[in-house]
Amino acid sequence: MRQTRKLIACFASAVLAVSAVAVFKTAKVYATTAPTVKVASQEIEKGTGSVSVDILLSNNPGIWGATLKVQFDESKLQLKPYPESLTGSGEYGYTTGDVELPMTAKSVHPSSTESLSKNTVKFIFEGNINSQSQNNNNNFDNGKLITLNFNVIDPSYTGNINISIVEFSAFQINEDTENKDPKKITSQFEIEDDIITVKEPPIAYGDFNNDTIVDDADVLAIRRFITSKNDVSKMKVLYPTETAGINFNETAADFDNSGEVDGNDVLWLKRYISCNNSVSAMLEKYDDRPNDFAHLNVN
Ligand SMILES: [Ca+2]
Ligand SMILES: [Ca+2]
């Protein structure tokens, strides 16, 4: 799923520091030693609510300033706003990373100075060439450039969410000259986009009543479910008080993973609970098992 793109990063003068840089898509494969800015892939479970995504810098050729623009799916993600008491307006959910660029990081989303859509966040790492005391060196750090912190909008969504670096421009000063005049060089950054994968959580086999605990209440509920001809709506009619407000997980009721819910699930669930919810203890004690219950160990 990963997309790789090349982007020409202009090492320009400080005056040109924030100028936009064209993005060129290409199929060419670059050596692993190429300067790279990448989105770190992430995998979360459905309903997690939030996700943090790192933007990583590697093979840093030495940069003094940079501009990073990242796009995301605004129908699925929202950048976490900082509490207003901590920051001014226009600053959004990010945390600085390992790369200690001698610059200030700013998010520009939405920007009063630049027209950005809601699906874009922009950071400017901007040094000060005129400073007498600091920021007069290029930075060669690698690692986390910045971390983006998102809220996942739809708690029921599963699937992929694309995160794309749509602009990365960097510039470099000439440390060898007294006036730090920028070396005007051009370097090629490899840009790697990636995705957030939102997966279904593993099935909590046995937890029929969905309270995150596997215990006798589940045994009883599965018995009632079977009595109700494996129909939750019938069960709710037959046992209105006992079932009120419970979102039963029928997949979890199939404790032995046989494809149907029946007396064997009640039998093995009782055995499992009697062994303090230990699969290995249950398998050691009972050898008439229908399978090795490996599906329980994925949880
Ligand atoms: Ca339960
Ligand atoms: Ca079963």
List the CATH number of the domain containing 92.
2.60.40.680
Q: Which SS3 state, helix, strand or coil, does residue 131 take?
A: coil
Q: Looking at the structure, tell me whether residues 289 and 264 fall in a common domain.
A: yes
Asked whether residue 161 is domain-assigned, the answer is yes
Instruction: Tell me the torsion sign for CA atoms 210, 216, 219, 222.
Output: negative
Pairing mode of beta strands 120-125, 65-72:
antiparallel
**Lowest-confidence pick of 62-66, 172-176, 221-225:** 172-176
Ligand 1 centre and the CA of 207: distance in Å? 4
**Distance from the alpha carbon of residue 43 to the mean position of ligand 1, in angstroms:** 26
Q: How far is the CA of 218 from the centre of ligand 2 (A)?
A: 14
Residue 140 lies in a domain: yes
Domains held by the chain: number:
2
Q: What's the confidence (pLDDT) of residue 184?
A: 46
For residue 45, the CA-to-ligand 1 centroid distance in Å is 20
One domain, residues 141 and 194: yes
Contacts of 162 (CB under 8 A, 6+ apart): 72, 73, 193, 195
Task: Flag whether 210 is in a domain.
Answer: no
The ligand placed nearest to the CA atom of residue 230 is 2
| 88-101 pLDDT, tens digit each | 444 567 777 788 76
What domain range includes position 222?
Answer: 216-298
Per-residue pLDDT for 58 more than 60? yes
Query: What single letter denotes the amino acid at residue 206?
Result: G
Claim to verify: residue 93 and residue 121 sit in the same structural domain: yes
Q: Does 133 lie in the same domain as 251?
A: no
Higher local confidence (pLDDT), 112 or 38 = 38
- The structure's pTM equals 0.69
Q: Are 73 and 194 within one domain? A: yes
Cβ-Cβ contacts under 8 Å for 77 (sequence gap 6 or more)? 51, 150, 151, 152, 153, 161, 196
Q: 121 and 263 share a domain?
A: no
CA of 299 to the centre of ligand 2 (A): 18
CA separation for the pair 32, 142 (Å, rounded): 14
User: How does 122-152 read in b/e, with b if 16+ C-beta sit within 10 Å?
Assistant: bbbbbbbbeeeeebbebbeeeebbbbbbbeb
Question: Do 237 and 185 lie in a common domain?
Answer: no
**Distance (Å) from CA 273 to ligand 2 centroid:** 16
H or E segment at 223?
A: helix 216-227
Tell me, yes or no, whether 266 and 194 share the same domain.
Answer: no
Tell me, yes or no, whether 105 and 38 share the same domain: yes
Lowest mean pLDDT across 154-163, 165-174, 244-253: 165-174
Residue 205 inside a domain? The answer is no
Rounded Cα distance, 209 and 221, in Å? 7
Compute the distance from residue 99 Cα to the ligand 1 centre, in Å.
46
CA of 190 to the centre of ligand 2 (A): 51
Percent with pLDDT over 70 in the chain: 72
Instruction: Give the C-alpha separation, 124 to 105, whole Å.
Output: 6
Cα–ligand 1 centroid distance for 100 (angstroms) = 48
User: In terms of domains, do 26 and 161 share one?
Assistant: yes
Tell me the pLDDT tens digit for each residue of 251-289.
999 999 999 999 999 999 999 999 999 999 999 999 898
Listed residues 144, 164, 199: the one ending a domain: 199
CA of 282 to the centre of ligand 2 (A): 16
Q: Is residue 208 part of a domain?
A: no
**Cα dist from 167 to 40, 164, 174, 193, whole Å:** 16, 9, 24, 11
Cα–ligand 2 centroid distance for 46 (angstroms):
25
For ligand 1, a single-atom ion, which residues have Cβ within 5 Å?
A: 207, 209, 211, 213, 218
Q: What's the CA-to-centroid distance between 195 and ligand 2, angstroms?
A: 36
Among residues 150, 171, 199, which one ends one of the domains?
199
Q: Closest by alpha carbon to 39, among 142, 193, 146?
A: 193
Q: Is the peptide bond before 155 cis (omega within 30 degrees of 0)?
A: no
- Ligand 2 centroid to Cα of residue 272, in Å, is 14
Cα distance between residue 123 and residue 144, in whole Å = 14
Ligand nearest to the CA of 262: 2
Q: What is the pLDDT of residue 125?
A: 76
Number of the ligand closest to the Cα of 256: 2
How far, in Å, CA of 88 to CA of 164, rounded? 26
Residue 233 has pLDDT above 60, yes or no: yes
* 166 and 289 assigned to the same domain: no
Positive or negative CA dihedral for 29, 144, 16, 19? positive
Considering every ligand atom shown, identify the ligand nearest to the alpha carbon of residue 254 and give its number: 2
Same domain for 241 and 124, yes or no, is no
Q: Which residue has the higher pLDDT, 116 or 192?
A: 192
Predicted local confidence at residue 113, as pLDDT: 53
CA 197 – ligand 2 centroid, Å: 30
**CA angle, residues 30, 35, 38, in degrees to nearest 5:** 90
> Is residue 64 within 8 Å of 172, Cβ to Cβ?
yes
**Would you place residue 123 in the very low, low, confident or very high pLDDT band (cuts 50, 70, 90)?**
confident
